[in-house]
């Protein structure tokens, strides 16, 4: 006799998506909570993913959405949380009566990772945020709420200016080649630039003197910047804490349960180590 399929389906949608640790994390928590559900990965190649994401509401109770479809996820939704609206992108969708409700759990995920790396006391302190893409927008929303003195350092000035205009009107901006000056007095550096995916490095960093350097990437993509940070005397942290924390917030939204993040983080570290 074959086993009954799970009654609630969840998935992460992205392009690429085969590397995603989200199925590992969520199926672990689903098992621990004894929920009748399954979480899979859906590879979706589309210039505009919104129509396909709208169709998935018929079969899926919830989705995570990753690169490059987070803006389309918001567009595909019938309603949205204040965070998703402010960031302009969604990474978590929950099925409701009228369609998807969009959430952005990267904001909470970043908040948890930042406090784990740099503590709680950043109000009024200088924080350098490298990058101005989707992850930077989620990070900037939290940093503005914290009341830090924010400096956005990005390759393209236009994207940094747009981030300032939309989310952080009091932030300063600096060109990427000015990183050493911009970061010399920073309490913490947050790196959200995805340059490590291509094996590229950051410009020179100032001496870190054990200050925290939080990279939002993880695994091989984070390796070049974390090595640079360590060599310059910064205390390096990768993005796995944020990954697990944003997943935990999604799990709370879907199931109303706070899952075991420490166990999931250990499982992710083991999975990443096994791939290297
Ligand atoms: P985006 O594509 O939206 O933004 C990428 C950013 O990186 C832009 O600011 C871009 O600069 C910059 N960048 C890319 N290549 C280079 C380069 N060669 N030199 C300098 N700057 C470069 O990506 P996201 O913001 O969504 O993601 C960024 C990183 O954060 C990724 O590695 C992603 O995996 C990670 N992430 C981690 C999460 C977690 O839970 N840990 C959650 C979300 C993202 P420009 O504006 O000039 O193009």
Q: Read off the pLDDT of each residue in 174-199 and give the average, rounded to a whole number.
A: 95
For residue 2, what pLDDT is reported?
A: 54
The residue whose C-alpha atom lies closest to atom 7 belonging to ligand 1 is 193
**Mutation test residue for ligand 1: of 193, 198, 218, 225, the one with most atoms within 8 Å of CB:** 193
Ligand 1 neighbour 246 (Cβ under 6 A): yes
Per the annotation, the verdict on 70 as an active-site residue is yes
The model's confidence at residue 3, banded by pLDDT at 50, 70 and 90, is low
If you measure from the C-alpha of residue 216 to the centroid of ligand 1, how many angstroms do you get, rounded to a whole number? 9
The model's confidence at residue 6, banded by pLDDT at 50, 70 and 90, is confident
**What ligand 1 atom has the least distance to the C-alpha of 67?**
26
pLDDT at 128 over 60: yes
If you measure from the C-alpha of residue 194 to the centroid of ligand 1, how many angstroms do you get, rounded to a whole number? 3
Contact between 106 and 91 under an 8 Å Cβ cutoff? The reply is: yes
Structural domains of the chain ordered from first start: 8-104+241-275 (3.40.50.10860), 107-238 (3.40.50.720)
Catalytic residue of the set 70, 123, 159, 209 = 70
């Amino acid at each position: 006799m074959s086993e009954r399929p799970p009654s609630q389906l969840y998935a992460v949608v992205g392009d690429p998506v085969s590397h995603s640790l989200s199925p590992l994390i969520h199926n672990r928590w689903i098992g621990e909570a004894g929920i009748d559900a399954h979480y899979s990965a859906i590879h979706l190649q589309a210039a505009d993913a919104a129509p396909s994401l709208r169709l998935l509401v018929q079969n899926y109770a919830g989705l995570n959405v990753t690169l490059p479809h987070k803006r389309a996820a918001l567009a595909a939704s019938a309603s949205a949380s204040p965070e998703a609206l402010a960031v302009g992108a969604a990474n978590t969708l929950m099925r409701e009566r009228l369609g998807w409700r969009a959430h952005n759990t990267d904001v909470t995920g970043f908040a948890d990772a930042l406090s784990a790396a740099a503590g709680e006391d950043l109000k009024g302190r200088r924080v350098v945020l490298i990058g101005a893409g989707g992850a930077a927008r989620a990070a900037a929303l939290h940093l503005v709420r914290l009341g830090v003195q924010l400096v956005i350092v990005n390759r393209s000035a236009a994207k940094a200016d747009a981030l300032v205009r939309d989310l952080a009107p009091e932030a300063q901006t600096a060109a990427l080649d000015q990183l050493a000056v911009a970061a010399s007095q920073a309490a913490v550096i947050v790196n959200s630039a995805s340059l490590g995916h291509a094996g590229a490095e950051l410009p020179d960093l100032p001496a870190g003197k054990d200050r925290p350097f939080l990279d939002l990437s993880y695994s091989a993509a984070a390796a070049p910047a974390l090595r640079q940070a360590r060599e310059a005397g910064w205390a390096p942290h990768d993005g796995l804490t944020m990954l697990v924390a944003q997943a935990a917030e999604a799990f709370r939204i879907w199931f109303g349960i706070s899952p075991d993040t420490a166990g999931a983080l250990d499982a992710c570290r083991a999975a990443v180590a096994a791939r290297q």
